[in-house]
Amino acid sequence: MFKTLVLIIMLSLNGCATITELLKLDGISTLTGYNNAAIKGTDLQAIPMALRIDWALQNPGFLLEHITLGLESFTYPTTRPGVIIGITPLTRFIYPINEVLKIYLEGGAGPIYLGLKTHEQEKPGFSFLDQLGLGIELHPTQKLGIILGYRLTHMSHAGLLRTKNRGIESNTILLGLRFRY
């Protein structure tokens, strides 16, 4: 799956006709914020840093005209020794209130490296991050958007490893800039 997503990114940035007939580059976002997870012992706090690329469907039907497909690469440096690194495909439904204000609902799941030891997952290693979020985009100009959002996240390795698999839920507040094409 990861190789396919990288190929789509490379082809769309290089202007491949077959990809651009289906998807068009819609924007790039940079995000940061605050993340807090309640885990055994003490809360885990992190500062998310992410880069997101969004594509819009070309010639969408009525229901698909406000949907973007995104790929988000991120790192979460934590207050404990360790880091969370990953990449997540996300689908976002954007509803314009007017030309300046848009609200959105998004969701996705992807692989991560959980680089710290926790009671819930035992040792560092491969996991998944599921995300569901909502937020607003303020557009002072047509090409620039300011993002304020909230995400509920769940980390677990889905029982694929021979360690405990008690999920880790967290809340994330995001602030970012979106540059539209």
Annotated domain spans of the chain = 25-180
As a whole number, mean pLDDT of residues 45-74 equals 85
- Per-residue pLDDT at 17 exceeds 60: no
- Per-residue pLDDT at 177 exceeds 60: yes
Angle at 107 between CA 152 and CA 101, to 5 degrees: 90
> Model confidence over 111-156: pLDDT tens digits?
998 887 776 666 777 888 999 999 999 999 989 999 999 999 988 8
Nearest to 121 by CA among 44, 32, 31, 25: 44
Which residues does residue 44 pair with via DSSP β-bridges, in sequence order? 37
d(CA 57, CA 41): 45
CATH topology of domain 25-180: Porin (2.40.160)
